[in-house]
Amino acid sequence: MKSSTLTENPLLIGEGLPPFDLIQVSHVVPGITTLLEQLTTELETLEDDLAPTWMGLVTPLTRIRERLNWSWRIIGHLMGVKNSPELRAAYEIVQPDLIQFESRLAQSQPIYAAFKAMRRGRQWSQLEPAQQRIVEAALRDAELAGVGLRGASRDRFNEIQQTLAELSTQFANNVLDATKAFSLILTTAAEIEGLPPSLLALAAQNARQHNHPNATATTGPWLITLDHPSFTPFMQHSRRRDLREQIYRAFITRAAGGDWDNTPLIHRILELRQEMTELLGYESYASLSLTSKMAPSVEAIYTLMEELRLASYDTAREELQQLNAFAHQKGAAEAGHLTQWDTAFWAERVREEQYGLSDEQLRPYFPLPQVLEGLFTLAQQIFGITITAADGEAPVWHPDVHYFRVLNQDHAAIAYFYLDPYSRPAEKQGGAWMDECINRAKINGNVRLPVAYLVCNQAPPVNGNPSLMTFAEVETLFHEFGHGLQHMLTQVDYAGAAGINNVEWDATELPSQFMENWCYHRHTLLSVARHYETGEALPEDLYQKILAARTFMTGSATLRQIRFAWTDLELHHRYRSNQTETIFDLSYRIASQASVLQPLREDAFLCSFNHIFAGGYAAGYYSYFWAEVLSADAFAAFEEAGLENQQALIEIGQRFRDTVLALGGSQHPMAVFKTFRGREPSTEALLRHRGLARA
C-alpha cells in the first residue's frame, strides 16, 4: 500500500486543531499505516538510547503517545459524530495494527525497566507530585497491559486485547444500526393523540428526511424513532397505550436479535475480559479495574449500592402506588397494574397536575442560545472566566457545530471547545459526552492550550425556531460542560496529568455532576431561562415548581441507576460463562431486586448497554454514584456559604477552580477533595439532594 506524506494526508499533520474540512475517509488507512511505521521507528530508537530521567524517558515517550493520539482521536471522534459504512470499514482495517502498536509500546521491557529505575533513583524526590503520579501510573498501566507476561501468555493476552477492541466497535455499531433501523409511521389523528407540538414538528421533520417530503406537523405523516428526543416524549405523552408498548418493547430489545444481535458479543467480551484478568493474576475483571480507581474494594462498592438501595426502595414503592392511585382516579383501565410503558406517561400526568409542570410548558423558556448565555454567565461569576463565540476559527465536521474560546480575567485565551448539540440518528451515536481534542501541556516553555469536544443529542431546530430544550437536556448540557471545565481549566503543565488525564475513573464525574446542581439555583436558572419569542424570564412560580419537582420520582430514578451499576458489577465480578445463570437471568434477578415494578422477561437492555461494552465504564458504572457523593458534598460547601451570597460564591468558586478543576490527575482525588472541602466526603448531601435523607 502506498504510504502517505504530510503534504497529501491531513491525518499526518500531528498537531494543532484537526482540519475537519480536509479529512476524507480515504485518508484513514494510508495515514494511520504511515504514522504507525514512523512511530515504530521512533519507539525502537528510544528503546536503544533512553535514560531513566524525565527528559530522557517521559518527554520522548509523551511525544510518541501524543502523536498517535492526535490522529487516532480524530478518527474515533468522527466514528461517534459522523459515522458511515465507509468510515467503519477504514477503521476496522487499521484498528488491528493500532492495537498491536499500543501493545508493543505498553509491553516495552526497556521502557518499563527505565520507569522502575526512575522510581528508585536518587532524583525521585526532586520530581513534582504530578511527575511522580505520572511515573507511578505508567508502571501500573504497563503491568495491567501485560508487561510481565512472557511467551504464549503474552501472545494470548495481545490476541485478547485485539479481539476486545474489535468487539467493542462492533457492539457500538450494532446499537447505532438497530436504533436507526426502527421507525414508527403515524398517519391518523388517533395515533398522535396527546403528542405535544414540539414532538409533532420533530416527527414531521423526521418523516421529510425519510421519503415523506410533504409531511407537516399538522397533517403528518409523523415518524417516531428510538432516538431519545423522539422516544422519550412519545413515552411521556402518547395516549395510545398499544403504541407505547410497541415502541417500548422495541427500545428494550434493540440489538438483541437479527443482523445486529449483540448477545454473542456480550458473551465473548465477558469471557475474554475474565481470561485476560486471570492471565494478569486477578480474581475478577472488577478487581483488576479497581487498581486504577478510587474505590478501595469491590465490597466497598457493594456497600454503597446497598446503602442507596435501602434508602430509595420504599420511596420508589410509594411512587408506584401514587401513580396507580392517580391512574385509578382518572379511570384508566391499566390502574392497579401499571407496566413499564405506562410509568413515564402517568408520571408526566402526575407532574403536570401535582406540580403544574410539564416539559412542553418549559421548552419555550430553554432555547439553546439563551441556555448557553446563562451557562457562560454562571461560569464567569463563580470561576472568573469569559466564554465568547469563535465560529470560523476552527474547521468543523458539521454545519451545526460551534466553536468557543475561554478567556481568563486578563482576557487572555486559556482554552477552546467545540459544541455539537443536536441529534443526528443517521450518523451520530446517542447520549452525550465530553472528549479531549488537545491536552494542556508546557512545551519548550510555551503552554499549549487545551481544546475540548462537547457533544449532546437534543432536538434540533425545527421550522425556523431554535432548539427548544427540555429541562433534562439543560441538565445534560451543564453536566458535559462540567467535564469540559476540568479539561480546560487545568493548571498542570504535564500532559499525562493535565485535565482529566490520570484522574481515577470513579472521580471523573465530580465536576460534571457538581455543575448539574446549578440548574436548581434560582439566580442561575432565571438567567438561563427566557422565552424564545418574548424574551420573558421564567416566571417565579415555574421556578418554584421546578424546585419542588426536583425529587419527583427520585426513588425510581435512583433504583434505575443502582440496577445498571449492580448489573455491571455482577457481570464483571461474580458471573462466569460456565454457570447455569445466563446474562439475561442475572439481569432479570437484579432488576427484580432493584425495581418495584416486575421487569419484563424479554428486557435485553444489556444489548444496548454501550457504557460497559463499548465505552470505558466496564466494572465502573458505579462511578456515577461514587462521584455523586463527592459532587453533592462539594456543592454543599456553596450551600453552607449561602447561594445568594455572591462574594462567598466567588471565593468558594475560586477554591473549587484551584483544586478540583486545576489539579487534574496531579494528586489523588481524595487529597484534592480534602484540600477543597477540608475533610473527607459524606453521603449526607447526596441523600438530601435526592430527597432520600429521611431514609
The answer on pLDDT for 695 being more than 50 is: no
Catalytic one of 480, 504, 509, 516: 480
32 in the same domain as 53:
yes
The answer on pLDDT for 324 being more than 60 is: yes
112 in the same domain as 22:
yes
Q: Is residue 652 part of a domain?
A: no
Separation between Cα atoms, residue 286 and residue 570, nearest integer Å = 9
Over residues 400-409, the mean pLDDT reads: 97
531 in the same domain as 383:
yes
Q: How many alpha carbons lie under 13 Å from residue 230 in its C-beta half-sphere?
A: 29
Look at residues 128, 148, 168 and tell me which one is the last residue of a structural domain.
148
CATH of residue 589: 1.10.1370.10
Q: Is residue 497 part of a domain?
A: yes
* pLDDT value of position 2: 47
Look at residues 621, 644, 667 and tell me which one is the last residue of a structural domain.
621
The answer on pLDDT for 126 being more than 50 is: yes
396 in the same domain as 291:
no
* pLDDT value of position 693: 67
Other beta carbons within 10 Å of 264: 9
The answer on pLDDT for 355 being more than 80 is: yes
* SS3 category, 548: helix
CATH of residue 109: 1.20.1050.40
191 among known catalytic residues? no
Give residue 403's domain range. 363-551
The answer on pLDDT for 7 being more than 70 is: no
Over residues 394-418, the mean pLDDT reads: 97
Q: Is residue 137 part of a domain?
A: yes
Separation between Cα atoms, residue 456 and residue 480, nearest integer Å = 8
584 in the same domain as 560:
yes
What is the arrangement of strands in the sheet containing 433-438, beginning at the earlier edge strand?
A: 386-389, 402-407, 413-422, 451-458, 433-438
Tell me: the pLDDT tens digits for 557-610?
Answer: 999 999 999 999 999 999 998 889 999 999 999 999 999 998 999 999 999 999
Q: How confident is the model at residue 282 (pLDDT cuts 50, 70, 90)?
A: very high
Cα dihedral angle (656, 659, 665, 669), rounded to 10 degrees?
-80
Look at residues 571, 605, 621 and tell me which one is the last residue of a structural domain.
621
561 in the same domain as 448:
no
490 in the same domain as 391:
yes
Tell me: the pLDDT tens digits for 635-694?
Answer: 999 999 999 999 999 999 999 999 999 999 999 999 999 999 999 999 999 999 999 865
Separation between Cα atoms, residue 32 and residue 23, nearest integer Å = 13
216 in the same domain as 138:
no
Q: Is residue 458 part of a domain?
A: yes
Separation between Cα atoms, residue 256 and residue 263, nearest integer Å = 6
Q: By percentage, how much of the chain surpasses pLDDT 90?
A: 94
272 in the same domain as 214:
no
- At residue 356's C-alpha, the angle toward residues 353 and 361, to 5°, is 120
245 in the same domain as 214:
yes
Q: Is residue 616 part of a domain?
A: yes
Q: Average pLDDT of the chain?
A: 95
Beta-sheet pairing, 184-186 with 222-224: antiparallel
* pLDDT value of position 577: 86
Q: How many alpha carbons lie under 13 Å from residue 105 in its C-beta half-sphere?
A: 24
Over residues 283-299, the mean pLDDT reads: 95
At 297, list the grid cell.
Answer: 474494594
Separation between Cα atoms, residue 285 and residue 308, nearest integer Å = 24
Tell me: the pLDDT tens digits for 483-514?
Answer: 999 999 999 999 999 999 999 999 999 999 99
At 573, list the grid cell.
Answer: 465480578
Place of cell 442560545: 369
Q: By percentage, how much of the chain surpasses pLDDT 70?
A: 99
The answer on pLDDT for 175 being more than 70 is: yes
Of 415, 414, 450, 456, whose CA–CA distance to 434 is shortest? 456
Tell me: the pLDDT tens digits for 47-95?
Answer: 999 999 999 999 999 999 999 999 999 999 999 999 999 999 999 999 9
Whole-angstrom CA distances from 624 to 217, 436, 508, 629, 674 are: 38, 20, 9, 9, 19
Q: Is the pTM of this model over 0.85?
A: yes
Q: Is residue 287 part of a domain?
A: yes
Query: Cβ(24)–Cβ(9) under 8 Å?
Result: no
- At residue 296's C-alpha, the angle toward residues 103 and 695, to 5°, is 130
Separation between Cα atoms, residue 119 and residue 113, nearest integer Å = 10
Peptide bond preceding 221 in cis form (omega within 30 of 0): yes
How many separate domains does the chain show?
Answer: 4
Over residues 396-421, the mean pLDDT reads: 97
* pLDDT value of position 6: 53
Beta-sheet pairing, 413-422 with 451-458: parallel
Over residues 539-547, the mean pLDDT reads: 93
Q: Is residue 173 part of a domain?
A: no
Tell me: the pLDDT tens digits for 600-610?
Answer: 999 999 999 99
Separation between Cα atoms, residue 366 and residue 468, nearest integer Å = 6
Place of cell 497529501: 8
Over residues 10-16, the mean pLDDT reads: 97
